[in-house]
Amino acid sequence: MKQKEIMLNTLSNKDMILDELLVEEIGNDHVSSSAETPMKKDAFVLSDEQKIKKIEIHFKEIMETLGLDMNDDSLSGTPHRVAKMYIKEIFNGLNPVNKPSVKLFENKYRYNQMLVERDITFYSNCEHHFVPFFGKAHVAYISNGKVIGLSKLNRIVNYYAKRPQVQERLTMQIAKELKEVLNTEDVVVVIEARHLCVSSRGIKDDSSSTVTSFYGGKFKEEEIKTEFLNYLNLKSSY
């Protein structure tokens, strides 16, 4: 009987090790499971304040598990600060009520060339390790009769950045939103970012960056694609 229990425990431990290795491998490879952010059906049953209180309790437990003295003046308020930061700031793009409202205007100038908004600064967090990745987003579109306020392009980028993300999904979500808002396929999104899960842990490479892109409609044409990239001083291989 004891031998059987030992065999079962050994098999169980092997399964746990394999699961841990698989999770680590997926995290390091930045695999995205969906173009949409995975959300629970009851994601917004709790209010923001209820979520803050709940996260505060759990984060305090994490800190205590790490061995930190939560009676220290410098640490005692940290769980609340982190919880509030998560809900009100760095992950507030999860809640659709924070989605920027967009007003379109008639293209009275009949401007039919591409409009490029480059070097949009964003900060996001990798969903695999919950550490930051940050960089610049470059977006452009060709008007289909309507135009959008320039600041709204920045707001759309930052709305989708403020959630646990992978860069590929962030690129696709921004592109999808622009296509729907502007009612055109003629949009492009290029993102250049540095990932702290690469530079501060794991391989610890602080010199590399990651580039992702989406080209839609006319931007798939080589001439227009090249014109856009010339504005960015990027190589056409991107």
- The CATH superfamily of 2-26+42-90 is GTP cyclohydrolase I, N-terminal domain (1.10.286.10)
d(CA 156, CA 134): 15
Record the pTM: 0.84
The residues annotated as belonging to the active site are: 126-129, 167, 195, 197
Q: What is the pLDDT of residue 109?
A: 81
Residue 188 CB contacts under 8 Å (≥ 6 apart), including other chains? 138, 139, 140, 141, 175, 213, 214, 215, 216, 219, 225, 228
pLDDT > 50? residue 21 = no
The DSSP string of 153-203 is: HHHHHHHHHSSEE-HHHHHHHHHHHHHHHHT-S-EEEEEEEEEHHHHSSTT
- Among 2-16, 30-44, 171-185, the range scoring the smallest mean pLDDT is 2-16
- Give the mean pLDDT of the chain: 88
**Does 103-232 match 2-26+42-90 at the fold level?**
no
pLDDT tens readout for residues 187-224 = 999 999 999 988 888 888 888 899 999 999 999 999 99
For the chain, give every domain's residue range.
2-26+42-90, 103-232
| Residue type at position 47 | S
pLDDT tens readout for residues 113-145 = 999 999 999 999 999 999 999 999 999 999 999
The residue with tokens 């809640």 is 95
Torsion angle of alpha carbons 136, 153, 217, 172, nearest 10°? 60
Residue 120 CB contacts under 8 Å (≥ 6 apart), including other chains? 136, 137, 138, 139, 153, 154, 157, 158
**Architecture (CATH level 2) of domain 103-232:** 2-Layer Sandwich (3.30)
